[in-house]
């Protein structure tokens, strides 16, 4: 890949930031620049239900960049000087390895786009705590690779993946499997601009859900067993996102005979069998 890209990352030990940088290094994809944003206190609602594992052995991004020989600058991602910095490093596009909401002037400074990996299917499941909201609303679990715009978890879709749920899963298991699908798809995402490409532009404002509070936590717990019984592929096989099991499977190609949605079965070591949602 000959295009230059920037990684937006956090300036504190963070699993996604670390794993993105490690995966890039392993595949020989070197960022032109890493911008690390300092910690920020978030005013999130009180929540008691953890859906992620706690990590104890994470590296500082600036240490990783130094060992990888990658330029690293600590700066607020929305600082007014960022566009000039990106221009100085001749950056063509960006990828989110850890960031808050980016301001319009940052989006404009990278006309090829900024790639994000969202742990839910958009536009149906936008915002934080997507795994919990999928359980509450009986949506399939999944992950979306997209180019961001001014709206939260919207923009233009590159790829959508439905990630399997199993009957023995905890919320943390589901979340980890979705996270692994993000790491697995990263290299494909970074090579997106290498050849002819197409995206599906989203124009809707639906599907945004606020951060989960204790009420959502309780509803998630109440519905989790029923949710797994309905969506688990070890008990029921695959369902379409329209909830139908009326699927025609020919090789790796899957067609829902009720809503005519198309899928492709993909197997990989990290997440097992997943479904790619074919949008075009």
CATH code of the domain covering residue 81: 3.40.50.170
Instruction: Indicate the range of 37-46, 118-127, 209-218, 242-251 predicted with least confidence.
Output: 37-46
Helices (H) and strands (E) in the chain, counts: 8, 12
Does residue 50 form part of some domain?
yes
Question: What's the confidence (pLDDT) of residue 225?
Answer: 96
The reported pLDDT for the residue numbered 153 is 79
36 vs 202, higher pLDDT:
36
Lowest mean pLDDT among 20-34, 140-154, 226-240, 259-273: 259-273
Could you give the C-alpha distances from 135 to 11, 129, 161, 182, 250, in angstroms and in order? 32, 10, 17, 20, 29
Q: Structural domain tally of the chain?
A: 1
Residue 160 lies in a domain: yes
Residues 6+ apart with CB under 8 A from 52: 172, 175, 176
pLDDT exceeds 90 at position 205 = no
DSSP state of 276: E
Asked if residue 272 has pLDDT above 80, the reply is no
% residues pLDDT > 70 (the chain): 96
Is residue 87 assigned to a domain? yes
Section 65-93 average pLDDT:
97
* CA pair distance 149, 104, nearest whole angstrom: 8
pLDDT at 280 over 60: no
The yes-or-no verdict on residue 8 having pLDDT over 90 is yes
Per-residue model confidence (pLDDT) at position 19: 96
Q: How far apart are CA 235 and CA 82, in angstroms?
A: 50
Which of the two residues, 69 and 270, has the higher pLDDT score?
69
Indicate if the pLDDT at residue 135 is higher than 90. yes
> Mean of the pLDDT values across residues 220-246?
92
**Residue 192 reports pLDDT greater than 70:** yes
Q: Classify residue 31: in a domain, yes or no.
A: yes
Lowest mean pLDDT among 116-125, 168-177, 187-196: 187-196
Residue 258 covered by a domain: no
- pLDDT(170) > 90: yes
Q: How far apart are CA 71 and CA 62, in angstroms?
A: 9
Range of the domain at 99: 5-236
266 assigned to some structural domain: no
State pLDDT tens for residues 97-134: 999 999 999 999 998 999 999 999 988 999 999 999 99
């Amino acid at each position: 890949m000959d295009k230059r890209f920037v990684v937006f990352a956090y300036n504190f030990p963070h699993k996604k930031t670390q794993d993105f940088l490690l995966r890039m290094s392993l595949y020989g994809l070197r960022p032109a620049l890493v911008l690390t944003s300092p910690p920020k206190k978030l005013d999130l609602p009180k929540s008691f239900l953890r859906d992620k594992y706690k990590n104890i052995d994470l590296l500082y991004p600036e240490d990783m960049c130094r060992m990888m020989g990658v330029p690293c600058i600590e700066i607020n991602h929305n600082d007014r000087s960022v566009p000039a910095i990106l221009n100085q490093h001749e950056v063509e596009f960006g990828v989110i390895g850890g960031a808050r909401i980016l301001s319009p002037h940052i989006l404009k400074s990278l006309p090829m786009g900024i790639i994000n990996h969202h742990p839910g299917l958009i536009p149906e499941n936008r915002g934080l705590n997507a795994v919990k909201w999928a359980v509450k609303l009986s949506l399939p679990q999944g992950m979306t690779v997209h180019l961001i715009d001014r709206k939260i978890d919207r923009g233009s879709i590159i790829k959508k993946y439905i990630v399997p749920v199993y009957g023995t899963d905890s919320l943390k298991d589901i979340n980890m499997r979705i996270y692994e699908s993000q790491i697995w798809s990263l290299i494909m995402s970074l090579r997106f601009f290498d050849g002819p490409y197409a995206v599906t532009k989203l124009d809707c404002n639906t599907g945004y859900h606020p951060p989960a509070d204790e009420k959502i936590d309780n509803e998630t717990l109440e519905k989790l067993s029923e949710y797994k019984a309905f969506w688990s592929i070890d008990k029921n096989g695959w369902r379409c996102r329209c909830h139908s099991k009326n699927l025609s499977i020919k090789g790796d190609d899957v067609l829902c005979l009720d809503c005519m949605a198309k899928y492709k079965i993909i197997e990989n070591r990290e997440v097992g069998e997943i479904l790619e949602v074919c949008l075009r």
